[in-house]
Structure 1
Amino acid sequence: MLVASIHRDHSNISRLLRLLTQNLGAIRDEKPVNFGQIRDTVMYLQEYAEKYHHPKEDLIYHYYVSHYDDHEGVAKLDAEHEELAVLTAEFADTVEMILMDAVIPLDLFADRLNKFVEQQRSHLELEESSVLPAIEKTLTTDDWNSLQSQWEEEEQDPLFGEQVAVRFKELAAAL
């Protein structure tokens, strides 16, 4: 079911955010940081979350808004997904610069990492605490069947799926 896969994705993304938070702590404690791991996490969010997870949510959100009163501000999540995509791309550029030996003060990088994690976490919390419960309470079995028929075959998750993609093996091991 669509909503179950969204909750599963949120749980997986939360695990990644905890890993990023550990790296943030390492930066602040002046301990070694695995920037490749940070890059891989951001790459996963760009490749999977933005291309498969958010469109799945958007399908549900658009359906909800077009069929029911939008008491939970669901319509604004479209814009939030776009903002997260921009933030992720900007942060990915910063990580790549560091990996290419660009000089970026660690305190500046830590601030950007913290902002990235906090915005991602805030978005997940909004969806999990108010938006999805309201949608789950409101949508009928017929609504869910209609949505499921509009969603194409589930994309294989390259990190948390049955088979981990080669580019995410090190990240999977860290989790």
Structure 2
Amino acid sequence: MLKRLMNDHKHIAILLNILAKKNHKLSQGESVNFALIRDVVEYMQVYAEHSHHPVEDITFDYFIKHFPSPSTTRLHDEHSSLAESSGALMYSLNLILSDVVISREKLVSDLKAYVEIQMAHMQYEEKELFPLFAKHMQGSDWDKIWQQCEQRLVDDPLFNDSDDNIFEELKEHIAEVEPQ
């Protein structure tokens, strides 16, 4: 399970890098593919917020319950903030794609903030939480977590080998720009 979470982070980092590059172009006044940007944010909503983050929450809650550790709500708070941020960004992107004028400066600022909070969140998990999970939890703990997560686990709709057409343009972009 921890391997899956870390693999998800690797994939999310690829997408955040794409957003950062698109945002840089946007800040320079260059044109960007807003549909592609929306697809990245949609992926974050569809997969990260509805499968990846709940699995992290379940894992963290299990850890807090079974191992001595300081109680904190930071993980859950950050997941809520990330969902709000992606919702607001998605709203702006949908307006743009519906030909509603949005300030370029606001979009650049919002997109930059989105990438930064996503990256900071992953760094928190990778530097503070994941090492604790790896150090303290054994196979039986992960089995119990797996059972609790089964309903939340979905196949990654972007980084998989299926022939689904979902996120097809984004898959092609990643294959061109970020060869595996």
Judge same fold: TM > 0.5, yes or no.
yes
Alignment counterpart, residue 119 of structure 1, candidates 101, 117, 120: 117
Distance in 1, Cα, partners of 2:169 & 2:142 = 36
- 1:24 corresponds to: 23
- 1:35 corresponds to: 34
User: CA contact under 8 A between 1:52 and 1:155: conserved in structure 2?
Assistant: yes
Shift of 1:74: 5.5
Q: Deviations over 1:3-62 (max 9, x none)?
A: 111001000000000000010111122212110000000110101111110111111000
- 1:15 corresponds to: 14
- 1:60 corresponds to: 59
SS at match of 1:166: coil
Matched residue count: 173
- 2:82 corresponds to: 84
Which letter does structure 1 place at the counterpart of 2:161? Answer: E
Task: Please show how residues 160-175 of structure 1 align to structure 2 within 5 Å.
Answer: 160-163=159-162, 165-175=164-174
- 2:178 corresponds to: none
Shift of 1:155: 1.4
- 1:142 corresponds to: 140
Asked if residue 152 in structure 1 is aligned to residue 150 in structure 2, the reply is yes
Distance in 2, Cα, partners of 1:76 & 1:99 = 34
Structure 1's 131 and 70: CA in aligned 2 closer, same or farther, altered over 3 A?
A: same
Q: Deviations over 1:74-131 (max 9, x none)?
A: 6420121111111111110011111111111111110000011101111011111111
What residue ranges of structure 1 are gaps of 5+ in the alignment? none
Distance in 2, Cα, partners of 1:164 & 1:46 = 21
Shift of 1:151: 2.4
Normalising by structure 2, we get a TM-score of 0.91
Distance in 2, Cα, partners of 1:69 & 1:102 = 52
CA RMSD of aligned residues (A): 1.4
User: CA contact under 8 A between 1:26 and 1:32: conserved in structure 2?
Assistant: yes
Task: Single out whichever of 146-155 and 42-51 deviates more from structure 2.
Answer: 146-155
Which letter does structure 2 place at the counterpart of 1:102? Answer: V
Task: Single out whichever of 88-97 and 164-173 deviates more from structure 2.
Answer: 164-173
Normalising by structure 1, we get a TM-score of 0.93
Which letter does structure 2 place at the counterpart of 1:167? Answer: I
Q: Percent identity?
A: 32
